[in-house]
């Protein structure tokens, strides 16, 4: 891989099954354009409805009543801030090493990573990862297999494995702005950086995580060619864009550290527990100038994130050649950071698992997410199944189809495309919307 290709600002549009290049907006604005192509990407994400909805989606605590804890929106903004700092630092190192193409600046690297970080959670369904599990659970139930008849194996793999990463790509490449015509038409560099798992659900690795549904595969094939991403051992499995490792690191840093801060806010952890974790990464006398433990924790958090950024950027450059060759010998960049950083983040994650993720209040809400999602699918999937197969539809299910009026099921829709529309519909819901709809559909509280 070469940086001249990896930082491509080329955009792609789509027309039915055709994918083609389209002009970049910055060139339309002329030589004196005030926005680079990557800043245009940033604006398109920020002004999208999918981004706004993140404000009502779970980060860790579903349907949280506390005003100060993170939701997916605040999480994404913080990840983008860390990602930008990581990218800027790496950009300077690339420049100093003679790797950065002449027509790019270090800030371009920061902007690409920042935009990918902003977009990385756009596809998360209501109730976060529990919502993903609930959607998968419904489609893998033995009694529901009748609704999958007629789908190919690759289509079944997509439908049975709702994946937030793949739906984030679907949001930007298909659903927002130019719907079914290239979506937001972001730059190739941004799309490539967003692909954390550049393979499909039918790939052996797709049994755990993947970033590409069959619906976006032709689009990504063009993106991969534009960026020069090499295919790995199997078809439709590409090497990761080097900058995707920075996006991943920014996300991991934020959730490892800031989930603990949320737990202190709602009383699941003592401030001293958080302080003890963060002080391992770099104790400094100036934190004792803080007025109280809460402020000291905030100062330690800032120091810890700064140390993580410095260490990850150094490890990126240390493994630069491996990243460009698509054969990084480790899982991620954090795994090769010094013990001070890696051990602190590991301890933070362990504390979160033991005291936050398995807390009774969180468990009860997550368990309730399953019947909530199931209530909606129990209504919509049979209705869509009968519609596509041109079977008589009961009155109740006819009414259910009206819920999909913004993206209606068309007569020429395949069963696969129709189900993807249902997943789009549910995936776009906020926690509040899904809970309210499930309650209304059940008839509880109708008066």
Transcribe 111-127 into DSSP letters.
HHHHHHHHHTTTT--TT
The answer on 387 and 320 residing in a single domain is no
Query: Which of these three, 320, 342, 359, is where a domain ends?
Result: 359
Residue 233 lies in a domain: no
The answer on 406 and 310 residing in a single domain is no
Query: Which of these three, 209, 227, 245, is where a domain ends?
Result: 227
Q: Based on the structure, what is the number of domains in the chain?
A: 3
Enumerate long-range contacts of 393-400, CB under 8 Å, 24 or more apart.
none
Query: Which of these three, 339, 359, 379, is where a domain ends?
Result: 359
The answer on 90 and 220 residing in a single domain is yes
Residue 31 lies in a domain: yes
Residue 34 CA to its chain's centroid (Å): 28
Terminal CA-CA length for the chain? 62
pLDDT score of 384: 97
The answer on 365 and 296 residing in a single domain is no
Average pLDDT taken over every residue of the chain: 89
Answer whether residue 288 shows pLDDT above 60.
Answer: no
Residue of 151 and 264 predicted with greater confidence: 151
Signed CA dihedral, 242, 15, 46, 58: sign only: negative
Residue of 408 and 296 predicted with greater confidence: 408
Residue of 158 and 60 predicted with greater confidence: 158
Containing H/E element for 190?
Answer: helix 188-194
The answer on 108 and 62 residing in a single domain is yes
The CA-based angle 435-441-442, given to 5 degrees, is 90
Share of the chain above pLDDT 70, in %: 91
Summarize the confidence of residues 349-358 as an average pLDDT: 77
**C-alpha–C-alpha distance, residues 424 and 394, integer Å:** 24
pLDDT score of 315: 96
The answer on 279 and 190 residing in a single domain is no
The answer on 412 and 292 residing in a single domain is no
Answer whether residue 393 shows pLDDT above 80.
Answer: yes
Answer whether residue 63 shows pLDDT above 60.
Answer: no
**C-alpha–C-alpha distance, residues 12 and 121, integer Å:** 22
Residue 290 vs residues 68, 215, 283, 287: alpha-carbon distances, Å: 20, 52, 13, 6
Instruction: Give me the CATH number covering residue 56.
Output: 1.10.3210.10
Q: Are 158 and 139 in contact (CB under 8 A)?
A: no
Q: Are 189 and 224 in contact (CB under 8 A)?
A: no
Residue 118 vs residues 113, 189, 290, 429: alpha-carbon distances, Å: 9, 14, 31, 18
pLDDT score of 298: 79
Residue 389 lies in a domain: yes
pLDDT score of 356: 74
Residue 247 lies in a domain: no
The answer on 23 and 112 residing in a single domain is yes
Residue 238 lies in a domain: no
Answer whether residue 66 shows pLDDT above 60.
Answer: no
pLDDT score of 287: 55
Instruction: Give me the CATH number covering residue 285.
Output: 1.10.3410.10
Determine the structural domain holding residue 397 and report its residue range: 126-155+360-447
Residue 285 lies in a domain: yes
Give the pLDDT confidence of 317-330 residue by residue, as tens digits.
Answer: 999 999 999 999 88
**C-alpha–C-alpha distance, residues 153 and 159, integer Å:** 10
Residue 343 in tokens: 């051990």
Residue 432 CA to its chain's centroid (Å): 20
The answer on 222 and 277 residing in a single domain is no
pLDDT score of 32: 61
Containing H/E element for 20?
Answer: strand 18-22
The answer on 90 and 77 residing in a single domain is yes
The answer on 41 and 163 residing in a single domain is yes
The answer on 174 and 73 residing in a single domain is yes
Answer whether residue 226 shows pLDDT above 80.
Answer: yes
Q: Which candidate, 211, 249, 307, places its Cα nearest to that of 84?
A: 249
Residues 6+ apart with CB under 8 A from 253: 82, 305, 308, 309, 312, 334, 345
Residue 116 lies in a domain: yes
Residue 41 lies in a domain: yes
Instruction: Give me the CATH number covering residue 138.
Output: 1.10.3550.10
């Amino acid at each position: 891989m070469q940086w001249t290709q990896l930082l491509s600002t080329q955009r792609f549009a789509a027309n039915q099954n055709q994918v083609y290049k389209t002009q970049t907006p910055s060139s339309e604005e002329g030589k004196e354009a005030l926005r680079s192509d990557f800043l245009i990407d940033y604006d398109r994400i920020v002004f999208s409805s999918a981004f706004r909805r993140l404000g009502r989606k779970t980060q860790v605590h579903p349907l949280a009543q506390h005003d100060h804890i993170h939701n997916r929106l605040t999480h994404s903004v913080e990840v983008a801030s860390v990602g930008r700092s990581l990218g800027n630092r790496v950009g300077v190192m690339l420049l100093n090493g003679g790797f950065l193409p002449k027509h790019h600046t270090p800030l371009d690297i920061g902007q690409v990573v920042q935009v990918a970080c902003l977009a990385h959670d756009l596809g998360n369904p209501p109730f976060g990862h529990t919502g993903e599990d609930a959607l998968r659970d419904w489609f893998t139930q033995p009694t529901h297999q009748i609704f999958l008849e007629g789908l190919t194996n690759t289509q079944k793999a997509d439908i049975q494995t709702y994946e937030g990463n793949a739906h984030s790509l679907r949001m930007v490449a298909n659903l927002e702005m130019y719907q079914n015509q290239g979506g937001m038409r972001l730059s190739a560099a941004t799309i490539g950086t967003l692909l954390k798992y550049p393979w499909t659900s039918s790939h052996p690795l797709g049994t755990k995580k993947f970033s590409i549904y069959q619906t976006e595969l032709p689009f990504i094939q063009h993106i991969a060619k534009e960026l020069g991403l090499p295919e790995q051992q199997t078809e439709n499995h590409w090497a990761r864009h080097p900058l995707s490792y920075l996006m991943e690191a920014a996300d991991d840093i934020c959730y490892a550290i800031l989930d603990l801060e949320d737990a202190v806010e709602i009383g699941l952890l003592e401030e001293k527990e958080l302080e003890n974790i963060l002080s391992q990464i770099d104790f400094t006398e100036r934190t004792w100038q803080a007025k109280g433990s809460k402020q000291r924790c905030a100062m330690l958090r800032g120091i810890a994130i700064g140390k993580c950024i410095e260490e990850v950027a150094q490890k990126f450059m240390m493994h630069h050649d491996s990243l460009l060759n698509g054969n990084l010998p480790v899982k991620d960049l954090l795994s090769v950071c010094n013990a001070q950083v890696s051990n602190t983040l590991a301890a933070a994650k362990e504390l979160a698992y033991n005291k936050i993720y398995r807390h009774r209040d969180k468990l009860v809400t997550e368990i309730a997410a399953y019947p909530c999602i199931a209530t909606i699918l129990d209504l919509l999937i049979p209705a869509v199944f009968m519609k596509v197969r041109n079977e008589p539809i009961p009155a109740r299910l006819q009414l259910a189809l009206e819920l999909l009026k913004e993206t209606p099921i068309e007569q020429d829709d395949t069963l696969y495309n129709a189900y993807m529309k249902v997943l789009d519909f549910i995936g776009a819901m906020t926690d509040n919307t899904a809970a309210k709809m499930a309650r209304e559909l059940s008839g509880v509280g109708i008066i």
